[in-house]
Chain A
Amino acid sequence: MDFRFDIVVEYAPFFLKGVLWTIGLSLVGIVFGTVLGLVIGLGKMVQNRFIRLPFDWYVHFFRGTPLFVQILLIHFGVMPMFTAQPNPLVSGAISLSLNAAAYIAEIFRAGIQSIDRGQMEAARSLGMTHVQAMRYIILPQAIKRMIPPLGNEFIVLIKDSSLAAIIAAPELMYWGRAMQGQYYRVWEPYLTVALIYLILTLSLSKLLHRLERRYDA
């Protein structure tokens, strides 16, 4: 098997641009997914069934249908309602955020509900309000437990951003497909892209590991 390093070098500037967009998409997904996920997670814990219903269905929908389908629906269905020329990067960022929020909502909910009931009772018995008890007692303990599953979700998010290539968002995978189309070669574009994704995810998991250890101390 001959491996043509020359075409990899030729595409290097495009891969660099692509990887920056991949990081950008992932960061947007992480930030907005986390914020939205917190809101939806809290919504899912409301006692009232009717208030809880839309939050439940949000999670059902975004967790229960493929991200691939969601990206197509959002880019070709939802976005054109707001703008004549939808930007694929914007559509991709929105899809990733909405999708990640569903998973993150479940991580928040599970983290909070995993804290022993006695902790909330002890806090309330001391006269703390529900908000105070959450802030000082429940969340600090829950966040520590959320870090590993959140890290997992962030890694999934980086990899899933590659699906935005299908709507021509110029991220990493998009340039891999472009290279494949130009040279009709398989190993060079896809192995290069795979390697770059691996570097991204390994770096993130190293970072998370360090964060986890710091929280343990």
Chain B
Amino acid sequence: MIQVTNLKKSYGSLHVLKGIDVHIREKEVVVVIGPSGSGKSTFLRCLNMLEDFDEGDIIIDGFRLKDPKTDLNKVREEVGMVFQRFNLFPHMTVLDNITLAPMKVRKWPKEKAAEKALQLLAKVGLQDKANVYPDSLSGGQAQRVAIARALAMEPKVMLFDEPTSALDPEMVGEVLAVMKQLAKEGMTMVVVTHEMGFAREVGDRVLFMDGGVIVEEGTPQQIFDAPQHERTKSFLSKVL
């Protein structure tokens, strides 16, 4: 589904990604952990080219991102993204937030888009919020709407960039529950997070990143119960 080869990126003289190789299979849930500044968010943002990269290759669903013939907008239709700070559109109702892209990008008729949106809102438990504006939502609700908005495009892959880091602690659970449900349904997911419990429970594979490289990867059991690398051990000892 996603093939990343020797991915490198730098901002000036600062090398953020120093050669990432990873293959993500269909329906796999890959969780990326690591200290801040390790490059994990940058890595995620390269996967839909919100961030350009300098070297290497990313192939998603058969599209080579660096190929000049690749229409990045087409790729992004298939790759949903959820941001740390939600990024809901404040000038639109929740319903319009969700239906906009299916109508304008996928060219769905309004009725179809609205039906899909209401279905997704029900799924994230917010069917009663369709006609309110984002500023009246709590953080947890806003993030669930953001997930619904991304899902409305019926993407093949979902990227999550620290989706619970900006939330009050009591709201983390409701967002993680939606993500767990999504994983159970077989969505291919790449999740950058500090929620180790989620990583252990939902992840098929955990990548530990530090200093712009993948230091160690394996099943949650391997990473959390028997980390091989010193850097992994010291990171886990701080966060667990």
* B150 at interface by CB-CB < 8 Å: yes
B105, A128: Cβ atoms under 8 Å?
yes
Q: How many A-B residue pairs have CB under 8 A?
A: 59
A128, B50: Cβ atoms under 8 Å?
no
* A136 at interface by CB-CB < 8 Å: yes
Residues in A with CB closer than 8 Å to B74 are 127
* A113 at interface by CB-CB < 8 Å: no
Residues in A with CB closer than 8 Å to B77 are 126-127
B87, A121: Cβ atoms under 8 Å?
yes
Residues in B with CB closer than 8 Å to A87 are none
A126, B76: Cβ atoms under 8 Å?
yes
Residues in A with CB closer than 8 Å to B60 are none
| CB of B196 to closest CB in A, whole Å | 26
Residues in B with CB closer than 8 Å to A126 are 76-77, 80, 100-101, 105, 149-150, 153
B100, A136: Cβ atoms under 8 Å?
yes
| CB of A63 to closest CB in B, whole Å | 30
Q: In the docked arrangement, what's the CA distance between A103 and B91, Å?
A: 26
Q: In the docked arrangement, what's the CA distance between A123 and B153, Å?
A: 12
B76, A125: Cβ atoms under 8 Å?
yes
Task: Give the size of the chain B interface in residues (CB under 8 angstroms).
Answer: 25
Residue of B nearest to A122 (CB): B87
A125, B81: Cβ atoms under 8 Å?
yes
| CB of A169 to closest CB in B, whole Å | 42
Q: In the docked arrangement, what's the CA distance between A35 and B87, Å?
A: 30
**Which residues of B in the span 87-139 have a Cβ within 8 Å of any Cβ on A?**
87-91, 100-101, 104-106
Known: A118-B85, A125-B50. A141 touches B101 (CB 8 A): no
A141, B87: Cβ atoms under 8 Å?
no
Residue of A nearest to B103 (CB): A136
Binding site for A on B (CB under 8 A): 48, 50, 73-74, 76-77, 79-81, 83, 85, 87-91, 100-101, 104-106, 146, 149-150, 153
Chosen A-B contacts, 27 in total, with CB atoms closer than 8 Å, are A119-B89, A121-B50, A121-B83, A121-B87, A122-B87, A122-B146, A123-B89, A123-B101, A124-B50, A124-B73, A124-B76, A125-B76, A125-B79, A125-B81, A126-B77, A126-B80, A126-B100, A126-B150, A126-B153, A127-B76, A127-B77, A127-B105, A127-B153, A128-B101, A136-B104, A141-B89, A141-B90
Extra contacts, 13 of them, besides A125-B81, A128-B101 (Cβ < 8 A), are: A119-B87, A119-B89, A121-B50, A122-B81, A122-B83, A122-B146, A125-B50, A126-B100, A127-B73, A127-B101, A127-B153, A132-B105, A136-B100
